[in-house]
Structure 1
Amino acid sequence: MEERAEQLLERTRIARELHDSIGHALTVAVVQAGAARAAGDPAFTERALDAIEETGRAALEDLERVLGVLRESGRPVGGRPVLTDAGRLLESARASGATVDADLTGPLDTVPGPVSREGYRILQEALTNVLRHAGAVPVRVRVTVEDGTLGLEVRNPFTGPMPARGRGSGLRGIRERASLLGGKAHTGPDRGDWRVRVELPLG
């Protein structure tokens, strides 16, 4: 039973990994392709194709890594991105038309591996949701490391309909990741914005 439980947990984690990585890449590709078609500008189209290519390559690397883990059950998970790699997420969102105001403070390189990896995926999912549901809007990203806690907040203007409670695997995945690490996650409208706020303990 313990072995079966471990297998189920691993499958759930892999499903989240694929959802976050591949979902982000497809969202960027769709947004970039639509923007390039609407712009009718060869230079913009070239930049959009570059962004699609770069994001697609990163997603393929993630896919190969996850498939390798599935093929070899004893193989350790390695090479997963961490918060010090967050720059590529921010640039990907900017390349898709979002105006990203980012403030990353504190020693990100000292964040424990599991927390840093899950923090990266949470940030990725939050930015993907902005692009998917709000489009090219201003986004504020705040990541802090202080007092034994990793804080992560993503805000963007909120003008759409209220999502049904409990719907959406992305938001559910954010809450699950935070809970597994003993942290807290809050998602929803806040003072005219849509806000994702996560706090994860470092020890």
Structure 2
Amino acid sequence: MSPAEWLVDLEERTERLLERTWLARELRDTIGHALTIAVVQAGAVGTREFPERALAAMKDTGREALSELDRVLRLLREDAGPMAQRSTLALAGRLVESARGAGAEVAARIGGDLDAVPGPVSREGCRMLQECFTNVLRQAGSVPVSVRIEVFDGLLELEVHARQPAESGGSRGGSGVREGAVLLGGAAA
């Protein structure tokens, strides 16, 4: 094998490894979010406050997770183009409603044209928002959460703040959010 052929082969293997890593992260985020919603809701079944909307949230989130699982598994086929099929910030409203259905008190403000956000940024922003909700629900439970999504000239600002219970000891999640922000030239606190 010539050095040029070796380099092409190495680049192809690297690209496949990066794609598989992305797919694994997609599966973890999607299934983790759905399971967190279900676990939070299942923990509330025995209480008087358990509303019918919680059951609806579990059902809707489960359906979405199964759909996402099917989508990601289809991407494992070599003939699929994964980047064009990933979820975008167009799902932000559904993610907010899903978190509300799980009991989080979400105050959301979405401003600007989400369609103006470049594809890679929109897809990563969606994944980051999903991870934030999953982390809040898993670690802090049903606490007040504020979400602000602003788009200015195609640039995205995404803020998620949650009040943590005094006994929680702080967040253990968020590494995927920081990783995604840095990858896109941004920052996460």
What corresponds to 1:196 in structure 2?
Answer: none
More strand by share: 1
Number of matched residues? 177
- Kindly provide the amino acid, as one letter, of the partner of residue 155 in structure 2: T
What corresponds to 1:20 in structure 2?
Answer: 29
Which residues of structure 1 form unaligned runs of 5+? 187-203
- Partner of 1:97, secondary structure, is coil
Return the match for 1:115 from 103, 110, 121: 121
Deviations 1:16-67 (A, max 9, x none): 11111100000000111111222276xx2x3322111100010011111111
- Kindly provide the amino acid, as one letter, of the partner of residue 49 in structure 1: L
- Kindly provide the amino acid, as one letter, of the partner of residue 99 in structure 1: E
Return the match for 1:11 from 14, 17, 20: 20
- Partner of 1:184, secondary structure, is coil
Residues of 1 paired with 2:17 and 2:91: CA distance? 28
What corresponds to 1:105 in structure 2?
Answer: 111
TM normalised by structure 1 equals 0.81
Is 1:74 aligned to 2:79, yes or no?
A: yes
Residues of 2 paired with 1:105 and 1:40: CA distance? 33
What is the CA-CA distance between 1:74 and the residue it aligns to?
2.8
What is the CA-CA distance between 1:157 and the residue it aligns to?
1.0
Is 1:184 aligned to 2:164, yes or no?
A: no
Judging changes above 3 Å, is the alpha-carbon distance between structure 1 residues 136 and 162 closer, same or farther for their aligned structure 2 residues? closer
Kept in 1: contact 2:132–2:160 (CA 8 A): yes
What corresponds to 1:87 in structure 2?
Answer: 93
- Partner of 1:145, secondary structure, is strand
Judging changes above 3 Å, is the alpha-carbon distance between structure 1 residues 40 and 116 closer, same or farther for their aligned structure 2 residues? closer
- Kindly provide the amino acid, as one letter, of the partner of residue 45 in structure 2: A
Identity %: 57
- Kindly provide the amino acid, as one letter, of the partner of residue 19 in structure 2: E
| Moved >6 Å (runs of 4+) | none
Deviations 1:122-181 (A, max 9, x none): 001001111111111110001111155211110011332145xxxx5x522112222222
Which residues of structure 2 form unaligned runs of 5+? 1-9
- Partner of 1:150, secondary structure, is strand
What corresponds to 1:191 in structure 2?
Answer: none
Kindly report the root-mean-square deviation, in angstroms, between the aligned alpha carbons of the 2 structures: 1.7
TM normalised by structure 2 equals 0.87
Residues of 2 paired with 1:123 and 1:149: CA distance? 16
Kept in 2: contact 1:62–1:80 (CA 8 A): no
Kept in 2: contact 1:100–1:141 (CA 8 A): yes
What corresponds to 1:193 in structure 2?
Answer: none
What corresponds to 1:173 in structure 2?
Answer: 176
Residues of 1 paired with 2:49 and 2:18: CA distance? 47
Kept in 2: contact 1:82–1:117 (CA 8 A): yes
What corresponds to 2:131 in structure 1?
Answer: 125
More helix by share: 2
